[in-house]
């Protein structure tokens, strides 16, 4: 099932995994290093009480900046004493925000501001509430988001928190059928992974902007196997579906030919191409490096992958589709699946970047041409 929010979560994850560009600071931080700044130590720079870009976006699509901007707007509007707030409560993205109940908002921001925020949030959501009937998160996604929330608000305990995920809905624009979307595992990843891994891929902002333009409309969804009659395609705003392209070409849906079909030239697709070209992925970050980076930070990968034999470089995918989605987000490709990822992995056999591990599913081994994963290299 589609999930632009999960896509955003992935963007966040990738932005944190591979922070390539400085984020636009909405806040001027004056707090000393080493501790999270209190809200009173910051100045909202959202044009003082003017609505920011958040007003133009579905709350579920808000970035952390959008959320901060939104909170800042209401702090200003209500002349609320910002010193009473904790910045930790403001550090969330839209999807997380939308899972929070009114009671929780009140407990976080106080009755006055909390209620105001809740009211504003509901209003905003109502503005963008379209066809949410079939876009609820799957149970596993809810579980995963629950984890996200636990990670995001570790300081919030007790019954007041309530069932935060009850209200989670997702948008239909970016199909992503994977049930293992546990991407905010990386929410706290900031600057944790190997610095070399930052090769100028995505920034959160750009990922978000691109997704806003429809750049990531998903041409196929992994679990559906995307049959030609998949109604999802006909509802896509832009004709980015390769299958659709084939259909249009031949008139009658038939077996498509081998290989990657040429992409269509619709206006939407031009936009897509533009977005991609303007933010190309430079060399340096390869799939195997991406995999390696997840592996060499076991304390952060939260069960996506694990070492089977650290010394020999044998590892296993625990959440294969989640890893694939994460990789897809990194490459701005929302239709990435484990099947495709694994094909790319298999090409590494020839180059001896990976070695085959026979008889074991989801298990691979680094080959002699891979680097940076050995204990001697990483130091741990």
Partner DNA sequence: TAGGTGTTTCCTGTTT
Partner DNA sequence: TAAACAGGAAACACCT
List residues binding DNA (CB under 7 A). 219-220, 226, 242-243, 255-263, 273, 276-277, 279-283, 286-288, 320-321, 327-328, 331, 333, 335-336, 338-344, 346-347, 349, 351, 356, 358-359, 361-363
When the beta carbons of 16 and 337 are compared against DNA, the nearer one is 337
User: In the structure encoding, which two tokens stand for residue 224, read together?
Assistant: 């559906």
| Alpha helices (H) along the chain | 4-17, 64-77, 94-97, 102-109, 111-128, 139-152, 204-212, 231-234, 242-250, 267-278, 287-295, 298-301, 320-330, 338-351, 375-378
211 by Cβ neighbours in 10 Å (0-12 / 13-18 / 19+) ranks as buried
* Residue closer to DNA (CB basis): 94 or 328: 328
Least gap, CB of 30 to DNA (angstroms): 37
Task: Closer to DNA by CB, 207 or 320: give it.
Answer: 320
> Based on CB atoms, which residue is closest to DNA, 300 or 340?
340
Closest C-alpha among 249, 245, 244 to residue 234: 244
For residue 231, the minimal CB distance to DNA (Å) is 16
| Minimum CB–partner distance for residue 127 and DNA (Å) | 32
Helix axes 287-295, 320-330, angle to 10 degrees: 120
Least CB distance to DNA at residue 95 (A) = 23
- How open is the CA angle 335-340-342, to the nearest 5 degrees? 140
Output the CA torsion 339→215→332→232 (10° steps): -20
Cβ nearer to DNA, comparing 169 with 174:
174
Nearer to DNA, 78 or 224 (CB): 224
CB of 83 to DNA, least distance (A): 46
| DSSP designation for 353 | S
Taking the complex as a whole, how short is the minimal distance between the CB of residue 239 and DNA, in angstroms?
A: 13
Element (H, E) at 27: strand 27-29
């Amino acid at each position: 099932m589609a999930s632009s929010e999960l896509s955003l979560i992935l963007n966040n994850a990738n932005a944190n995994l591979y922070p390539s560009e400085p984020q636009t600071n909405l806040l001027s931080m004056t707090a000393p290093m080493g501790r999270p700044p209190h809200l009173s130590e910051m100045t909202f720079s959202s044009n003082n009480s003017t609505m920011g870009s958040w007003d133009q976006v579905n709350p579920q699509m808000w970035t952390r900046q959008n959320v901060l901007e939104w909170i800042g707007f209401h702090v200003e509007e209500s002349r609320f004493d910002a010193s009473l707030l904790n910045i930790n409560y403001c550090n969330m993205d839209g999807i997380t925000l939308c899972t929070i109940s009114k009671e929780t908002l009140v407990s976080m921001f106080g009755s006055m501001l909390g209620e105001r925020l809740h009211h504003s949030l509901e209003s905003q959501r109502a503005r963008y509430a379209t066809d949410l009937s079939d876009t609820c998160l799957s149970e596993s996604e809810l579980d995963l988001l629950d984890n996200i929330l636990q990670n995001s608000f570790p300081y919030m305990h007790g019954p007041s928190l309530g069932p935060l995920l009850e209200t989670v809905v997702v948008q239909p624009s970016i199909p992503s059928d994977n049930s293992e979307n546990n991407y905010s595992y990386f929410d706290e990843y900031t600057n944790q992974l190997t610095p070399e891994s930052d090769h100028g891929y995505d920034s959160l902002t750009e990922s978000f902007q691109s997704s806003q333009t429809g750049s990531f409309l998903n041409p196929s969804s992994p679990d559906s196997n995307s049959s030609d009659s998949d109604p999802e395609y006909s509802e896509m705003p832009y004709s980015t579906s390769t299958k659709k392209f084939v259909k249009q070409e031949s008139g009658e849906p038939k077996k498509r030919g081998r290989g990657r079909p040429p992409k269509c030239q619709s206006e939407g697709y031009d936009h897509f191409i533009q977005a991609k070209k303007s933010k190309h992925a430079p060399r340096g970050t390869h799939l195997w490096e991406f995999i390696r980076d997840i592996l060499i930070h076991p304390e952060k990968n939260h069960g996506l992958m694990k070492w089977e034999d650290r010394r020999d470089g044998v590892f296993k995918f625990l959440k294969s589709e989640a890893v694939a989605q994460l990789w897809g987000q990194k490459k701005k490709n929302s239709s990435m699946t484990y099947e495709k990822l694994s094909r790319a992995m298999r090409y590494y056999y020839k180059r001896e970047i990976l070695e085959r591990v026979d008889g074991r599913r989801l298990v691979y081994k680094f080959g002699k041409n891979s680097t940076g994963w050995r204990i001697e290299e990483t130091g741990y």
